[in-house]
Amino acid sequence: MVIYGVALLSGCLIAGLFCGQLLGRLIGVQANVGGVGIAMLLLILVSDRLRKAGRLKPVSQRGIVFWSSIYIPVVVAMAASQNVVSAIEGGPVALLAGALAVGLGFALVPVISRLGGPRASGQAPEDGP
Amino acid sequence: MEVVDLLGGVLARNGLVTAFAFVGLTVWVSYFLSNRLARGRVHGSALAILLGLVLAYVGGVFTGGDHGLADFEVLAGVGLLGGAMLRDLAIVATAFGVDLGELRKAGSGAVVGLLAGVLGSFVVGAAVAWAFGYTDPVSMTTIGAGAATYIVGPVTGTALGAASDVVALSIAAGLVKSMLVMTITPFVAHAIGLDNPRSAMIYGGLMGTTSGVAGGLAATDERLVPYGAMTATFYTGLGCLLGPSLMFVTIRALFG
């Protein structure tokens, strides 16, 4: 049933957020430390197990796939409810700090991709949009 | 205008449903523009996010509130749909079907990317703050934290007792970063080799803004979203941890 997939997804998120909150408390930070990341790892591990054991039927998977495919609209809704006015009125300090941090990040992607690890940069690009 | 009032009431009482319809319409318009005007060169989802930000600006100007479009009573549901709860649920769902082998391959590169991303953003943000006359260590650290993400900024600022205008600036810096990452990523993806899971994880760790990374990757190649989002979700935690501690102590030692 579809609800099984949604329930599995929700359970993973709750468990991950709980671990993140716990982790934050342990290090003394008022923040959720990696909760969503932990939840993603949980979902990958648990759903992989269940699928291999034949316990996660395609119908149940639809409950997870729906939320995955509604992701872009959720991001659009998030963008539409940000305080964009203050970002623009925040002055050149905010603009410059944000823009330079982005520039640095983009510049470092190929540098760090080349550092260590397997040579992944030689891969041919797939059928991207 | 009783009919308009009636309609407004129905929309407001069914906020989340209204949001689904409204966002669906927004996405449809964006894909239409992408196909017709840009001939597909600008991905529809990138245009949709940009349109979302423009609408948020319009909402902010008209209502004077902090939540963009969601401050219109009839569109309050947009805030719920785009809020942390459903956003996290959708982010986690994108991990479904991820190949664990690819995750292990990222390994050290992802960790190096995370550290370089957090520390680099702090240094850049603090330097800009200093150049504009915010020379006290608390303000420099807070604006530096904002250059990390708009969540790390206020968390760090609150922990250090920064002035409220400085905290607002740090949020603005993080928002600018998020907006830029969302919209620029599809244009530079090819040049920086952002076409495989490993570089997506490094990119996620370097940029850190979960919304920006996920939005940018969605517009580049949807299959890369979970990889980038995964490292990006650890970034805010790392930033909140290092900001009020290591970064502040270092900046205070140098400029205090």
Residues 39-78 of B with CB under 8 A from A: 43, 45, 48-57, 59-61, 66-70, 78
Whether A36 contacts chain B with CB within 8 A: yes
Give dist(CA B56, CA B48) in Å, integer. 12
Whether B12 contacts chain A with CB within 8 A: no
B173/A108 CB distance under 8 A: no
Between A124 and B24, residue with greater pLDDT: B24
Own/partner pairs, B5-13, CB within 8 angstroms, 24+ separation:
B8/B73, B8/B74, B11/B74, B11/B75, B12/B73, B12/B74, B12/B76
Q: pLDDT band for position B43 (50/70/90)?
A: low
Q: pLDDT tens, B93-149? A: 887 876 666 556 667 888 888 899 999 999 999 999 999 888 999 899 999 999 998
For the cut 90, the answer to whether the pLDDT of residue B234 exceeds it is no
Q: pLDDT tens, B164-209? A: 778 878 888 888 888 889 889 988 999 999 999 889 999 999 998 8
Whether B91 contacts chain A with CB within 8 A: yes
Whether A21 contacts chain B with CB within 8 A: no
Instruction: Compute the nearest-CA separation of B14 from chain A (Å).
Output: 16
- Give the residue extent of every domain in chain A: 2-82, 85-115
Between A88 and B127, residue with greater pLDDT: B127
Give dist(CA B218, CA A7) in Å, integer. 25
ipTM: 0.81
